[in-house]
Structure 1
Amino acid sequence: MTPAPHAPTRTPLAAAGPSRPLTGRPRALLLEGVHPEAAALLHRAGFDVDDHRGALGEDALIAAIRGVQVLGIRSRTRVSRRVLHAAGDLQAVGAFCTGTDQIDLQAATERGVAVFNAPHANGRSVAELALAEVIALTRRLPERNAAAHAGVWDKSATGSHEVRGRCLGIVGYGAIGTQLSVLAEALGMDVVFHDLAERAPVGRARRCETLHELLVQADAVSLHVDGRPQNAGLIGEAQLAAMRPGSVLLNLSRGSVVDLAALRRHLTSGHLAGAAIDVFPDEPSAAGRPFTNPLRGLPNVLLTPHVGGSTQEAQREIAVSVANRLVSHARTTTTARAA
């Protein structure tokens, strides 16, 4: 299934008791290296802010969240039902990222905890990286780069193509998919897309009614779907086999979407020319931790550590957007976006 990307998440204040505007000097806990502008904005609004670079496991988070009114996280910290029901003072969670898959939204609603995210703030950054990877894979830059670093002069046009005139298939045609569509078309690519939601095509892009219809005609397939359960395993053995010989696959959406073992088989067999993967089923909890993955070591694969939206511009925009909404909620209990 291929639903639309996230809309801004605003959990209603539930029957567990409405939030009241915070008084005194409330506490905020920020995890995972949220851009410093968020802490600065919260400080200016009168919060005491604890700012940590790493994620926390469930037990550690329960201990750290005592007495905290506002929690800020990115994608690695899991805010489970157990965490939410143990957090007696918590009034709002800010997800300083696009999605909210890591938060139990039903439990947040039951507890009257508002949840805010920034679904569109890093769209340009993700789209630019996807386009760069399409070009790099189509020109076989990963292999050429590795060979040159190994002292091998591999000057050849074999397997190397321009992107102009080639077909890009975009799975998930929301905020990121449409931006990628515009950028790719500006380079002369033909664009097709598939999305279960009704989406108006941008420019000359054409809609595919089924995922299979897109896979059999695209020279590059870029995934931009969310992490809801029905998207798990969206690209598996059958879908990879349906892709055009010599095509490339990009996943900058969610780690559960692609069967990596099957992808490795199709890369090593030569059926696919390359892949670029930015998100993984199991990701280290902090920078510097060991990273294991079945695609490591393949010369035609670009592996990046979940940095699709990690530009200074995007991270600052996310920080300002989510922090402002947390401050507004703390003052007024409103969940509406400020004008």
Structure 2
Amino acid sequence: MIRVLVTDGMAESAVVELKTKGFEVVEQFYEPEVLGEKLKEFDVIVVRSKTKVRQPLIDKAVEAGRLKLIIRGGVGVDNIDVAYAKGKGIGVTNTPNASSGSVAELALAHMFAVSRYVNISNVSMRQGKWDNEKYEGVEIGGKTLGLVGFGRISRELAKKASALDMTVIYTNLTGKVNGFDEYEFCKLNDLLKKSDYVSLHIPFIKENGVTIGKDQLAMMKVGAFLINCARGGLIDEVALVEALDNGKLAGAGIDVFADEPTKNEALVNHPKVSVTPHIGGATKETQMRIGSEIVSIICEFFK
């Protein structure tokens, strides 16, 4: 029987479907020092963000020669040493279509929150304050949204932002994307200078370091907003707090952090910041879509 290890959770409907189709499914999180040995007992491992599948774990799994497939339930695969795993004959894939809409919605939610002080006024009212004269916000309609990266999530956000009367521009490592002429392609530096809102939608590559650091923040408009629902590490968090403190940026919406769970209290507690604990894909609909996609991947792989 083909055994599937699910370490970070999966929709119950998907677990039931896999079992119905004859797969054995074990739902259990293991610490790294234990996971390597456990992988010798499974043909497939399904992870989300919490579990990291690095070279030492892959080497342990290879000793038994049983592990054939690693699936990341979500968009990125930066928590997996993909090239190394493939070099050892282990397939690696993800579910790129499942969470595009939910992450785009969260990015938009953060844009609204920091534009209209939803984040901090919610807190102040719970403290018995009525600071209605203090929270004069800005409208997002008529503003320019700059998208850094133009994959599935970014395109979903572009569509939603356009419907809200925003002008959308984007930058992309591979250049202009065909079929999206309604949006202007820009180089990163030009995008930073033109945008009222900058939203990140790219993977974090450790070797490349931060994408938005002190120099990039300096290029942005005074009073601009920065949104990151992509990956932690893309923004220099110290430089971001400085830019918020000195008034360069009007606000930031952050769902992902350099270290998670984050201990950066200066950022989390900043009155100009809207924060969430890495919940971009945390909707019922996304979990159902991820589960269905995982079932399809496994069934196709072992047919």
The count of corresponding residues between Structure 1 and Structure 2 is 298
- Pairing 1:302–2:278 present: no
Q: Look up the match of 1:335.
A: none
Alpha-carbon separation, structure 2, partners of 1:157 and 1:139: 11
Q: 1:311 is aligned with what amino acid?
A: T
Residue in 1 that maps onto 2:177: 199
Q: Report the more deviating stretch, 228-237 or 247-256.
A: 228-237
Letter of the 2:239 partner, please give it.
A
Partner amino acid, structure 1, of 2:272: N
1:39 aligned partner? 15
Q: Distance in 2 between matches of 1:144 and 1:201?
A: 41
Among candidates 244, 253, 271, match of residue 267 of structure 1:
244
TM-superposed deviation, 1:201: 6.1
Amino acid across the alignment from 1:40: V
Q: How far has the Cα of 1:49 moved from its partner? A: 1.3
Q: CA deviation at 1:76?
A: 2.0
Provide Cα deviations, 1:183-213, integer angstroms capped at 9, x if missing partner.
10111111111112231363632111x2111
Correspondence for 2:86 among 86, 101, 109: 109
Tell me the amino acid that sits aligned with residue 67 of structure 1.
Answer: E
Q: Is the 8 A contact 2:121 2:135 kept in 1?
A: no
TM-score using structure 1 length: 0.84
- Counterpart of 1:129 in structure 2 is 106
Distance in 2 between residues matched to 1:207 and 1:298, nearest whole Å:
33
SS in 2 for 1:250: strand
One-letter amino acid of the structure 2 residue matched with residue 171 of structure 1: V
Q: What pairs with 1:53-68 in structure 2 (closer than 5 Å)?
A: 54=29, 56-68=30-42
Query: 1:337 aligns to what?
Result: none
TM-score by length of 2: 0.93
SS at match of 2:178: coil
Tell me how far apart the structure 2 counterparts of residues 323 and 282 of structure 1 sit (CA, whole Å). 31
SS in 2 for 1:34: coil
2:274 equivalent to 1:292: no
Question: Within 1, Cα distance between the matches of 2:297 and 2:146?
Answer: 35
Q: What SS does structure 2 have at the residue aligned with 1:313? A: helix
SS in 2 for 1:50: strand
User: In structure 2, how many angstroms separate the alpha carbons of the residues matched to 1:156 and 1:258?
Assistant: 32
Cα deviations by residue, 1:158-204 (Å, 9 ceiling, x for unpaired): 54111111111111111111111111011111111111223136363
Q: CA deviation at 1:137?
A: 1.2
- Distance in 1 (CA, whole Å) between partners of 2:298 and 2:157 is 30
Shift of 1:157: 7.0
Q: Which of 151, 163, 171 lines up with 2:128 in the alignment?
A: 151
Percent of paired sites with the same residue: 35
Q: Say if 2:116 and 2:135, in contact at 8 Å, map to a contact too.
A: no
Is the CA contact 2:200–2:229 (under 8 Å) kept in the aligned structure 1? yes
Q: Which runs of 5+ in 1 are unaligned?
A: 1-24, 285-290, 332-339
Q: Which amino acid aligns with 2:2?
A: P
Q: Secondary structure at the match of 1:276?
A: strand
Determine helix, strand or coil for the equivalent of 1:216: helix
Counterpart contact for 1:231–1:256, Cα < 8 Å: no
* CA distance in structure 1 between the aligned counterparts of 2:207 and 2:38, rounded to whole angstroms: 33
Tell me by how many angstroms 1:273 deviates.
1.0
Q: d(CA) in 1 for partners of 2:148 and 2:208?
A: 11
Q: Do the aligned residues in 2 keep the contact of 1:231 with 1:257 (CA within 8 Å)?
A: no
**Larger RCO, structure (CA 8 Å, separation 6 or more):** 1
| Alignment counterpart, residue 242 of structure 1, candidates 219, 235, 245 | 219
Alpha-carbon RMSD = 1.7
Asked if the contact 1:173/1:193 (under 8 Å) is kept, the reply is: yes
5+ long unaligned stretches in structure 2: none
- 1:114-150 CA distance string (max 9 Å, x none): 1121112110111111112112211122122122111
- SS of the counterpart of 2:120? helix
Q: Does 1:51 align with 2:23?
A: no
Shift of 1:35: 2.1
CA contact (8 A) 2:6 2:26 kept: yes
1:78 to 34, 37, 52: 52
1:257-315 Cα offsets, whole Å, 9 max, x none, are 1000110111122221111111112114xxxxxx4124121112111111111111111
Taking the aligned partners of 2:270 and 2:105, their CA distance within structure 1 comes to 23
Cα distance change of structure 1 residues 131 and 318 upon mapping to structure 2, 3 Å threshold: same
Counterparts of 1:178 and 1:230 in 2: how far apart (Å)? 26
Q: Provide the secondary structure at the position in 2 that maps to 1:83.
A: helix
Moved more, 82-91 or 249-258: 82-91
